[in-house]
Amino acid sequence: MNKFEILPSCKEAVFHDEMVRIDETWGIKDRSGLDRIKSKFQTVLGVADDERSKNLSLARKENLGEEEYRIDIDAAGMAIAASTPQGFQRAYATLIQLQDGPHLPACHIHDWPRLPIRGMHLMFRCFRQMGFVEAQNLIATAARLKLNTLLMEFGDRFPFAGRHRIVASPSALTRAEITALVTQAREQGMEIIPLLQSLGHLEYLLKHDAYAEVREEDQHRAQMCPTNEKSFQIFTELAEDMLQMFGNSRFMHIGADEARQLGHCPRCKMEMQKTSKGVLYATHTNRICEWLCRKGLTPILWDDILCAHPDALEHLHPGAWIMYWDYWTTSLDNPLLVARHDRANKSHIVYDARWQTEWRNELPTVTARVLEAYGQPVRLEEDLTASFIKVYGPYLGGQFPKFVRPFPYLEYYQAKGRKVIGAPTCSGNRSSWHKLPDFPRYGENIHSFAERCIEARSAGLIATAWYNRMPEILHPGLIETAEFTW
């Protein structure tokens, strides 16, 4: 067993029984052409800014993948190879874990990730205790763990300007703070995806009477009306303001989840007489997707409404990516089905009732707790409608109904030509573990989702975070996401 434990674990790591001292006799031989990268390594190792008898050699190797790297250390010198700045950043993250003062172990390391997108949700809207300093610390930890993506959701904690400045809460971050966080993340090889809700979860906006005209209904005040022209106008104005802070982004996440009041207002009810709820949803969402695509941005949206209304997916803008969330599946031998489509007031988290009797002793502890807390026991073959089976039956696996293929909608969305990002949680739902957040469930959820995303060759995985908790509780999720996706 190696005495050097690197997180996330390396694919190939061979350590020799020797420690190498980096001292004033060492220099740097840079063939990377990346001055900032050269400076980082030079600073952390304290080597001279010229070539010496022993050198840290940085070399570009075009045959290596985007984040793949090699490290070779012995008494004669050190060689680090990568093809991109991100690859050198991942090598740097490994090197600082190996460092013991001026000493490094003689070793050979060759390493690369298993998923292209590996990230964490920085949820300022919910995590009210997460300020600038706390976010800086989380970003630094994420970079050390080789995560490469941050999904940033602000809600009313974004410093909206102009006529929408009333939306910003007193605890909003400043523009200077957001600029600093963006710079920090990008300098450490991380991509940022800003998230701005485009339909539901807009309580922070619609509570203001200035936006009363676009409320879908006046009780919950959570959803904009998809048929009101001003809803699109307000979203694009807010998005324009936000995107100024995230220049050079590839993506924007538009939320669009849990739109529970669809078809409620008189205008939408009239529209529903001509079309379906899914098409109503897609029509609004597509305008936003098209607007973003014209700006060169790829839109991303949560999957739950698409899952509940398959015709929405059929009509969805072809450029949209899907972020598929499931916080309850905790095992690759999985009894649980998240069945959102055609449930007609039934539970959407179900499992076969025989898990309560003849199969009960086969359940892992964490999964048994999830079924007890969230699941509804049914006879799956009888409970699911012919409509559900027609759409989703091919993806439920060969052991259905006892076992359900975990995260079955991965292949369903991919079969529809969609890029999919998995979304487990490291802070979601209200179960607990010894009065703490339910870390065992979160860990198993992240692990099983990551394994399935790797198997399905999905675009990646981003662990989500919800509720107003102290930001420090996100660190286990950072570590788990890093380990299971790298």
- Tell me the domain boundaries of the chain: 12-111, 117-485
Tokens of 281: 């949803």
pLDDT in tens, 108-133: 999 999 999 999 999 999 999 999 99
Tokens of 306: 């698409």
pLDDT at 339 over 60: yes
pLDDT in tens, 118-176: 999 999 999 999 999 999 999 999 999 999 999 999 999 999 999 999 999 999 999 99
pLDDT in tens, 386-435: 999 999 999 999 999 999 999 999 999 999 999 999 999 999 988 999 99
Domain 12-111, CATH = 3.30.379.10
Question: What are φ and ψ of residue 266, in 5° steps?
Answer: -55, -40
Measured between alpha carbons, how far is 169 from 180 in angstroms, rounded to an integer? 20
pLDDT in tens, 442-482: 999 999 999 999 999 999 999 999 999 999 999 999 999 99
Q: What is the pLDDT of residue 3?
A: 77
**SS3 call for 423:** strand
Ranges of beta strands (E only) in 266-343 are 298-302, 321-325, 336-338
Query: How confident is residue 264, by pLDDT bands cut at 50, 70 and 90?
Result: confident
Q: Cβ distance 300 to 289 under 8 Å?
A: no
Q: What is the pLDDT of residue 263?
A: 87
Q: What is the pLDDT of residue 2?
A: 56
Q: Is the pTM of this model over 0.95?
A: yes
Question: What are φ and ψ of residue 53, in 5° steps?
Answer: -70, -30
Among candidate residues 386, 402, 260, 433, the one with its CA nearest the CA of residue 337: 402
Q: Which amino acid is at 179?
A: T
Query: How confident is residue 96, by pLDDT bands cut at 50, 70 and 90?
Result: very high
pLDDT at 1 over 50: no
Structural fold of domain 117-485: TIM Barrel (3.20.20)
pLDDT in tens, 272-303: 888 999 999 999 999 999 999 999 999 999 99
Residue found under tokens 């600038």: 132
Q: Which amino acid is at 181?
A: L
Measured between alpha carbons, how far is 42 from 28 in angstroms, rounded to an integer? 7
Question: What are φ and ψ of residue 183, in 5° steps?
Answer: -65, -45
Peptide bond into 437 cis (omega under 30): no
CB count in 10 Å sphere of residue 213: 12
Report CA-CA distances (Å) from 35 to 30, 43, 50, 93, 273: 9, 12, 13, 17, 62
